[in-house]
Amino acid sequence: MKLWFKKGAWASKKAKQLVEQIASEEVKSIAVIRHAALGDMVLTRCFLVELRKHFPNAKITLSLISNYIRGAPEDLVDRVHVICGSDQRNTPWQEQLKRLRELGEHDLLFDLAATSRSFLLCMFNRAKLKVGFPYRLSQRHLYYDVTTPRTDLAFEADDMLKQLNVLSLRTSYPPQFKMPGSAKSSDTPYIIYFTSASADYKCWPEAHFAGLLDNMAQNYPGYKHQILEGVNDSESIDNLIKSLTVKSGVEPVKADSVDDTVALLKGATLVVSNDTSIRNIAITTDTPTVGIFFSTEPYRYWPRCGNHDIVFNPDHSVPSVDQVYAAIQGLLTKIGAA
C-alpha cells in the first residue's frame, strides 16, 4: 500500500515509512471502532464490505459500545467487541478498563467514531497503523498515525471510506452496503412514510404530514400509502390518521424488528422520512428516499448518488407541503414510478 495524497489528509513520519511495508494480503487482523446509533451504524456496512474486498485474509473485529448495539453489521465481521456505555455507568472501573483492553492488538485499526471512548480504545490497544478522522487537529497526534478529513458537508459513508482511500485503496461508488434480507411481497406498490425521529426537533409538523398524505392519496391512488409506526408511545400516529381528509389507501404499518424493517423498506417504491435511522436503512437497501431536513445537517445524510433527494431551505425554515410533494413527484418520475 501507499499513502497517496498531497493535501487534506495527515500522516506521521512513522506512517509514511510503514504503509509501504504493508501488503494487503498479509494483513491478518483489523479492528474497526464504531460507536453509533442504528442510523449511523448501518452506514458502516459499506466500509466493512470494502475491508473484506481489500484484506481477504484478515480477521475483522468490530468494536461497539453497549448502548449502541442495534443494527450492528455482525454478518460482515468475524468478532464483536463491546465496551461499557452509558447504560453501564455503574460498572467498576477495573472491569471497564478490562473491556477496553480486550480489543487487543491488530495490524490495522480504524476509528469510525472519534469519541472519548474510542480515543481510550486507541490508547489502550496496540496496532501497527491507526487511522481516524477526528474533528480536532490536535487529536491526530495523540491517537493516530494517519487521519483523513471529516465534515458535515459530505455524506457520512463517504467520509468513512476516505480512511481506505488514503491508503490508495479503490472503493466502490456508489457505496455498496449489501444489506441482507428479502423484500416484503405486496400485490400493490406502496410508499412508506415515517413521521417520527430520535428527537422532537427533527420532526416535520404532523399537520404537514397530514397535508402531504392527503395530496399523495388523492393523486397517487395506485399506491398504498403506509405510515410506519414508531416503537415508543410518543410516536403514535393515531391523531395523524384521524386528521386526514383522504383516508382511502392510507394505512398504518408496524415493523417489530430490524429484519422486519429491512424487509418492509426493501419492498417499498419510495420512503419519505425525517432525518432518522429509517431513512438510513432505506439508503442501505437501495430504496429511493426523500428526506426532510430543517434542524440537522442535510449534506451529512444525503448520498449524491442513486435515487435519493432531500428537501431543505437555506434559512433552515420548515419545508412546506408543496416542496416535499414536488420532490416526491420528481423522484417517482425519475424512477419511472409516477
Q: What is the DSSP string of 203-228?
A: PPPHHHHHHHHHHHHHH-TTSEEEEE
| 3-class secondary structure, 59 | strand
Q: CA–CA separation, 317 vs 323, rounded Å?
A: 12
| Structure confidence by residue, pLDDT tens digits, 159-184 | 999 999 999 999 999 999 999 999 99
- Say which amino acid occupies 162: K
Q: CA–CA separation, 123 vs 100, rounded Å?
A: 9
User: What are residue 29's DSSP bridge partners?
Assistant: 59
Longest dimension (CA), the chain: 67
According to CATH, the topology of domain 10-165 is Rossmann fold (3.40.50)
Q: CA–CA separation, 30 vs 171, rounded Å?
A: 17
| 3-class secondary structure, 261 | helix
Specify the range with the lowest mean pLDDT, choosing from 24-38, 231-245, 303-317: 231-245
Q: Are 3 and 166 in contact (CB under 8 A)?
A: yes
Q: Which sign does the torsion angle of CA 252, 236, 317, 41 carry?
A: negative
| Structure confidence by residue, pLDDT tens digits, 273-291 | 999 999 999 999 999 999 9
Most confident of 15-24, 195-204, 298-307, 318-327: 318-327
Q: What is the mean pLDDT of residues 316-322?
A: 97
Q: What are phi and psi of 253, to 5 degrees?
A: -145, 145
| 3-class secondary structure, 22 | coil
Q: Which residues of 237-248 are buried (b: 16+ CB within 10 A; e: fewer)?
A: beebeeebebee
Q: What is the mean pLDDT of residues 263-275?
A: 98
Q: What is the DSSP string of 95-157?
A: HHHHHHHTT--EEEEEES--SHHHHHHHHHS-EEEEEE--SSHHHHHHH-SEE----TTS-HH
Which positions ≥6 away from 231 have C-beta within 8 Å? none
For the cut 90, the answer to whether the pLDDT of residue 236 exceeds it is no
Q: What is the mean pLDDT of residues 321-329?
A: 98
Say what the pLDDT of residue 230 is: 85
User: What are residue 81's DSSP bridge partners?
Assistant: 63
For the cut 90, the answer to whether the pLDDT of residue 233 exceeds it is no
In this structure, the number of other CB atoms found within 10 A of the CB of residue 96 comes to 16
Whole-prediction pTM:
0.95
Decide: residue 331, CB within 10 A, 0-12 exposed, 13-18 middle, 19+ buried. Answer: buried
Which positions ≥6 away from 15 have C-beta within 8 Å? 3, 129, 145, 146
Q: CA–CA separation, 193 vs 142, rounded Å?
A: 44
Q: Are 50 and 172 in contact (CB under 8 A)?
A: yes
Q: What is the mean pLDDT of residues 21-38?
A: 96
| Structure confidence by residue, pLDDT tens digits, 74-88 | 999 999 999 999 999
CATH number for 190-333: choose from 2.40.160.20, 3.40.50.2000, 3.40.50.300, 2.60.120.560. Answer: 3.40.50.2000
Q: What is the mean pLDDT of residues 95-104?
A: 97
Which positions ≥6 away from 333 have C-beta within 8 Å? none
Q: Report domain extents, the chain.
A: 10-165, 190-333
Are the folds of 10-165 and 190-333 the same?
yes
Q: pLDDT class for 261, splitting at 50, 70, 90?
A: very high
